[in-house]
């Protein structure tokens, strides 16, 4: 399975302009089975004044994702701020299929330090999506710091983390992504933005890591770029069978 990680700048809260900027990046790597975009890929994290217009804007973002999925005959993944049926704001990770249907995961761990809990409501379910024979656990940014929630139950092969993770905590991003891959014997796909907003600078560090903790694809720090990785499921299964770490894991229950 071929994964495309899409690392890009989000220079303003003009979501239409930001989506237009993504078109040439996606076109650079045709033929991928899955394209992964950063957290809040069209608006940036906690975009000023966004909450009031979330419903209308998220509709356009989902339309764009559906079109790209259909155009590339692939799934497209990225997070958008949207309102649920009760009118509550969610940081929602969309897994868009080529037929226009989608699965979603609402960010469980909201970033209190940056005020995310003031506007958003946390998710209450763990979501695994199967695509092209690979099972993906969906996660968003701050979720990376909470390993119990993402601990393997033998129900996924890869974790997707999308993020707006600032430069000053880049070492933590890189270390935790590798740890999640090793401890869960899975692929980890981490996609972060570049550029800056009113509070932070972002240098990316988008990467695909295998179950051994080896980097198999990465984007250049600070650059808008798309990179490709091949997920080898037969190799993953051989490793899990040869070195059955997960069989010795502690029993637990979360949600």
- 39 is known as an active-site residue: yes
Cβ distance 168 to 161 under 8 Å?
A: no
Catalytic member of 39, 116, 167, 225: 39
- CA atoms of 227 and 208, how far apart (whole Å): 9
- CA atoms of 155 and 127, how far apart (whole Å): 10
* 3-state SS, residue 94: strand
Widest pairwise Cα distance in the chain = 52
Which residue in this structure is represented by tokens 């761990």?
109
DSSP assignment of 158-171 equals: EEEEEE---GGGHH
- CA 184 remoteness from chain centre: 17
- 141 is known as an active-site residue: yes
Cβ distance 136 to 100 under 8 Å?
A: no
Q: Read off the tokens for 152.
A: 């393997």
Catalytic member of 2, 118, 132, 141: 141
Q: Read off the tokens for 107.
A: 């960010």
Catalytic member of 83, 86, 101, 107: 107
Q: Read off the tokens for 147.
A: 């390993």
Catalytic positions are 39, 107, 141
């Amino acid at each position: 399975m071929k994964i495309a990680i899409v690392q890009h700048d989000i220079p303003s809260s003009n979501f239409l302009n930001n989506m237009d900027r993504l078109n040439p990046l996606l076109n650079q790597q045709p033929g991928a089975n899955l394209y992964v975009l950063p957290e809040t890929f069209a608006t940036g994290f906690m975009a000023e004044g966004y909450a009031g217009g979330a419903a209308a804007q998220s509709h356009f973002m989902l339309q764009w994702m559906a079109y790209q999925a259909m155009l590339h005959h692939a799934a497209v993944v990225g997070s958008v701020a949207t309102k649920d049926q009760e009118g509550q704001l969610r940081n929602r990770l969309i897994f868009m299929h080529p037929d226009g249907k989608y699965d979603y995961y609402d960010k469980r761990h909201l970033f209190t330090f940056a005020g995310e809990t003031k506007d958003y409501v946390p998710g209450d379910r763990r979501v695994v999506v199967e695509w092209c024979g690979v099972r993906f656990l969906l996660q968003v940014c701050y979720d990376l710091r909470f390993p119990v929630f993402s601990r393997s139950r033998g129900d996924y092969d890869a974790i997707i983390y999308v993020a707006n993770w600032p430069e000053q905590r880049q070492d933590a991003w890189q270390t935790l992504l590798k740890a999640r891959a090793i401890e869960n014997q899975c692929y980890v796909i981490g996609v972060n933005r570049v550029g800056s907003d009113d509070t932070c600078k972002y240098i990316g560090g988008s990467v695909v890591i295998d179950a051994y903790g080896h980097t198999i694809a990465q984007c250049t720090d600070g650059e808008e770029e798309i990179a490709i990785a091949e997920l080898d499921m037969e190799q993953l299964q051989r490793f899990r069978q040869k070195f059955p770490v997960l069989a010795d894991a502690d029993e637990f229950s979360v949600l």
